[in-house]
Chains A and B, each alone.
Chain A
């Protein structure tokens, strides 16, 4: 039996490399975690003056007007909710159809892998491209519609932003949905078909109940994605700092107001109010992300 003190030189070298290597891994991992904590801390500290200055009025007030020092997040909270909820509603039929089509109706093969590839490509398109495409195609189309239906023809606004956003989030819900649906045991689908059910009836009564938690988490994760989306939304939402009266009104979301005004905010309290909104966004997206993941986990363990 050899004692540790009698390690050969090569053994000792290996030891040193191993230790060094594990320290390097630890260093980078800790650095990432520290950065995350650092960002949260920075936001918190910089948002403090806003808490003190605006207090509860930040959430109950109605207007945002830096010139008159009215700072309330309400127009942007409303704008964010309206845009993302509308985008979700528009995207769900698409993502659910894609998920069912590629996870249930089609046998795994070339067509399903092509669909998968196309959806992944859709997820990889930079958001500024979506914004650009929105400005050149969707905005004029919505303007035509508004003219036609007797509204003010802004073109830009919540509806336009929601349309673009809905396309951007389809890949998230669709790919999670497809995986969740493909995991429904084929035993159960066969049992349903053998009872004389049509594929639609199997989807309605067997596949959907079995995978509903997973589908919900897919929707939640795409919701989180929609809330945080900045560039494309900023380009097409019309950048108006009022509480929107209709879904065709120009508005701003929390992320688009920050993107728009952060560079020109010179007054420290103005900056602090913007950072305060960043904090709201950070907490909301993190909470939705964690919750969505929990739903997936709970679902996949049962």
Chain B
């Protein structure tokens, strides 16, 4: 692996007495799209939440193992800094309903108490919305609240909000599962473009989506990392029987 951006070693997560993630080790690739694939309930969300320490919100969750971000253990870093480096987009679009589109994009700065000049703010808002492919659609409504946006537009607004913080890694948790096919296509194109500038880790349970856009795929089952490799190889010659079964069942 050319650049060690993110390395997970021996990560296990338990909630109460249940083991949710079972001793997973994997390295992610710099400026590539990695999808995490697996049946519902296998621990995909839990795994990516460990990467930006959002799992700490779950009561009674215990984590062992380490995650290194550029060789630094994120569990020894300030979680706030971890989250600024590693942005997150959720399953359901969740723009802040009390804020305008403009304020949503720079919400990360406002929330963190980072003061910016207005020219700088304008610049960040425009750049982020452009990167999220939303600028042309909302540039005349920046100071309106985002409630009138479609689901797909709201999700792109959330992507812009995450990009505004200039993260090096972007986590997306089934970002299209609440969207129609057209918006889904839009987001997929967008994610493919974004890998020019950020490392992308995306959860999906849609195998076509994984094969369309990702460079690498990890297959999870019952909290275990069953198989991990280039998307092409995993989809054409899977090594593990469980992967093969899952792929053929989901394709059928």
Contact = CB atoms under 8 A, between A and B. Distances in A.
Contacts of B88: 194
Nearest to B56: A193
Contacts of B205: none
Nearest to B108: A195
B237 to A, nearest CB: 37
A197 interface: yes
6 contacts: A185-B94, A191-B96, A195-B108, A196-B80, A197-B111, A210-B98
A158 to B, nearest CB: 37
A193 B83 contact: yes
Nearest to A186: B57
Given A195-B165, A196-B81, A209 B87 contact: no
Interface of A: 107, 109, 185, 187-188, 190-198, 201-202, 205-206, 209-210
A202 B97 contact: no
A107 B61 CA distance: 13
A190 B54 contact: yes
Interface of B: 52, 54, 57, 59, 80-81, 83-84, 87-88, 90, 92, 94, 96-99, 107-108, 110-113, 158, 161-162, 165
- Looking at A107, A109, A191, which has the most chain B CB atoms within 10 Å of its CB? A191
Contact of B113 (A109, A187, A201): A201
A209 B158 CA distance: 19
A294 B143 CA distance: 28
B98 to A, nearest CB: 4
Given A187-B94, A206-B96, A210-B97, A194 B111 contact: no
B57 A195 contact: no
A194 B110 contact: no
A195 B107 contact: yes
B83 to A, nearest CB: 4
A202 B162 CA distance: 16
A294 B155 CA distance: 33
Given A193-B57, A210-B98, A187 B108 contact: no
Contact of A201 (B81, B111, B162): B111
A188 B94 contact: yes
Contact of B158 (A185, A191, A197, A198): A191
A192 B111 contact: yes
B59 A190 contact: no
Nearest to A202: B111
B47 to A, nearest CB: 15
Contacts of B59: 107, 109
A187 B97 CA distance: 11
A210 B87 CA distance: 23
A210 to B, nearest CB: 6
Contact of B110 (A187, A198, A205): A205
Contact of B98 (A194, A195, A196, A209): A209
Nearest to B110: A205
Contacts of A198: 80
Contacts of B98: 206, 209-210
Contacts of A210: 97-98
Contacts of A202: 111
A195 B108 CA distance: 5
B92 A194 contact: no
User: What are the 10 A-B residue pairs with the smallest beta carbon separation, nearest first?
Assistant: A197-B111, A187-B94, A195-B108, A209-B98, A194-B88, A196-B84, A196-B83, A196-B80, A191-B94, A201-B111
Given A196-B81, A201-B112, 20 more contacts: A187-B92, A190-B54, A190-B57, A191-B90, A192-B107, A193-B54, A193-B57, A194-B83, A194-B88, A195-B87, A195-B107, A196-B111, A196-B165, A197-B108, A198-B80, A201-B111, A201-B113, A205-B110, A209-B98, A209-B99
